[in-house]
Chains A and B, each alone.
Chain A
Amino acid sequence: MVKPLPFEEPVIRLKEKIEELKNITDDAHVDMADEIRGLEERLQKLEADVYGNMTAWDRVQVARHPERPTTLDYIGYLFEDFIELHGDRAFGDDAAIVGGIASFGGTPVTVIGHQRGKDTKENIRRNFGMPHPEGYRKALRLMKQAEKFGRPIICFIDTKGAYPGKAAEERGQSEAIARNLVEMAGLRVPVISIVIGEGGSGGALGLGVANRIHMLENSTYSVISPEGAASILWKDAALAQQAAEAMKITAPDLKEMAIIDEVVPEVTGGAHRDAAGQAEAIREVIRSSMDSLCPMDADRIIEDRYRKFRDIGVYKEGKD
Chain B
Amino acid sequence: MAIIREMFKKNKKRYMTIPSEASKDVPEGLMTKCPECKSIVLTKDLMKCDKVCPDCGHHYKMTAYERVDCLFDDETFIPMDEGMKTVNPLGFPSYEEKVNADAEKTGLNEAVLTGIGEIDGQRTAVAIMDSHFRMGSMGSVVGEKITRAIEKATDEEIPFVIFTASGGARMQEGVLSLMQMAKTSVALSRHADRGLLFISVMTHPTTGGVSASFASVGDINLAEPKALIGFAGRRVIEQTVREKLPEDFQTAEFLMEHGQLDAVVHRSEMKKTLSTLIRFHTKEAR
Contact = CB atoms under 8 A, between A and B. Distances in A.
B258 A171 contact: yes
A174 to B, nearest CB: 4
Nearest to A187: B189
B191 to A, nearest CB: 10
Contact of B175 (A164, A168, A221): A221
Interface residues of A, number: 54
The residue in A169, A249, A259 that gathers the most chain B C-beta atoms within 10 A of its C-beta is A169
Interface in B158-189: 169, 171-183, 185-189
A247 B192 CA distance: 34
Interface string A167-201: 01111111101110111111000000000000001
A315 B179 contact: no
B212 interface: yes
A166 B181 contact: no
Contacts of B250: 169
Contact of A169 (B87, B179, B183, B249): B249
B169 to A, nearest CB: 5
Given A164-B231, A179-B217, A182-B217, A223 B175 contact: yes
Contacts of A259: 175-176, 179
A205 B216 contact: no
Contact of A320 (B81, B212, B215): B81
B187 A310 contact: yes
Contacts of A208: 182
Contacts of B233: 164
Contact of B216 (A178, A201, A309, A320): A178
Interface in A93-123: none
Contacts of A165: 232, 237, 240-241
Contact of A246 (B90, B179, B209): B90
A172 B230 CA distance: 8
B92 interface: yes
B84 interface: yes
Nearest to A175: B216
Interface residues of B, number: 65
A182 B218 CA distance: 11
Interface string A291-320: 000000000000001100110111111111
A141 to B, nearest CB: 17
Nearest to A317: B84
Q: Which A-B residue pairs are the 4 nearest by beta carbons?
A: A318-B83, A164-B232, A313-B140, A185-B189
Contacts of A183: 189
Interface stretch (B49-57, B141-149, B269-277): B141-149
B243 interface: yes
5 contacts: A178-B217, A182-B185, A223-B175, A233-B92, A316-B85
B186 A254 contact: no
A202 interface: yes
Interface in A44-85: none
Interface string B199-241: 0000000001101111111000000000001111100110011
A169 B209 contact: no
A177 B185 CA distance: 11
Nearest to A311: B183
Given A315-B141, A318-B84, A306 B175 contact: no
Contacts of A222: 174-175, 178
B193 interface: yes
A257 interface: yes
B35 interface: no
Given A171-B258, A185-B186, A166 B83 contact: no
B83 A254 contact: no
B89 interface: yes
Contacts of A223: 169, 171, 174-175, 177-178, 209
B104 interface: no
The residue in A165, A186, A247, A313 that gathers the most chain B C-beta atoms within 10 A of its C-beta is A313
B91 to A, nearest CB: 8
Given A165-B241, A202-B209, A309 B186 contact: yes
